Amino acid sequence: MIQAVVFDWAGTMVDYGCFAPLNVFMEVFRKREIAITIEEARAPMGLLKRDHIGEILRMERVASLWRERYGQLPQESDIDALYADFEPMMLAVVHQYAEPIPGALALVDRLRQMDIRIGSTTGYTAEMMAIVTVEANKRGYAPDHLVTPNDVPAGRPYPWMMYENAAALNVFPMFNVIKVGDTVSDVQEGVNAGAWTIGVVKGGSELGMSEDEVVTCPPDKLQERMDVVAAKFRQEGAHYVIDSIGELDMLIPVINQRLQRGERP
């Protein structure tokens, strides 16, 4: 039976649309006179933020722009310099992006009534999460456990944060755990850990839309964009994709039935 659910944070449980890191990534590259696109800024979302910067710099278009501006391809020292700009900017604004996504708090209440433990992983550093957890707790969200990339040898897509959650929550085997997230790296983390893995579309970084944009978008256009995200999650191995976070618990009886039949993720 499912004993624990491990949630991502930004774009999954808080910060609808995952805008806090997006805006800071755009700004740190703008300061270096490199105009990255929103799509480029979002593509590695979910990774440890220094790794995220490295992935942006390895994109062919961005690397070409960097070489044109600075006369050589990006170096490790450039990643360090960009991250040195990113971290204080992120720490200064992240407290503004801890509002729970609609449906998240009620979902957690229902899961607790089912005696399901609540874990969490993130691409944020421990210092960033020290701010986010306080602000989210004020608004009613406090998981049973949090693991950041600082606590393990490497962040996503490696499964180490998932294993740390399982140990802290005393859950084993990993097929008794669900991982939920809004990015490709979330899905990879869950799959690599051997957990049931669920991608969530609305509110997430892959969809990249604010709540108002989702509400006002023509239904056929919105569905088209959501289908693209869902296909991306499934391609990475997601076992299920849900439209909104509040739908998660409807899948638990389905997964429990599969487990009872001897099926494994």
Give every CB contact of residue 56 below 8 A, 6+ residues apart in sequence. Answer: 25, 29, 36, 40, 41, 43, 44, 62
Alpha-carbon distance of 20 to 114, in angstroms, equals: 32
* Distances 82 to 29, 52, 74, 89, 253 between C-alpha atoms, Å: 8, 11, 11, 11, 45
Q: Please give the backbone phi and psi of residue 6, each rounded to the nearest 5 degrees, phi first.
A: -110, 115
From 15, 49, 51, 182, active-site residue: 49
Alpha-carbon distance of 60 to 211, in angstroms, equals: 32
Note whether 218 and 198 are within 8 A (CB). no
Active site residue 221: no
Active site residue 49: yes
- Which two three-digit tokens encode residue 55? 């992935």
Kindly list the catalytic residues. 8, 49
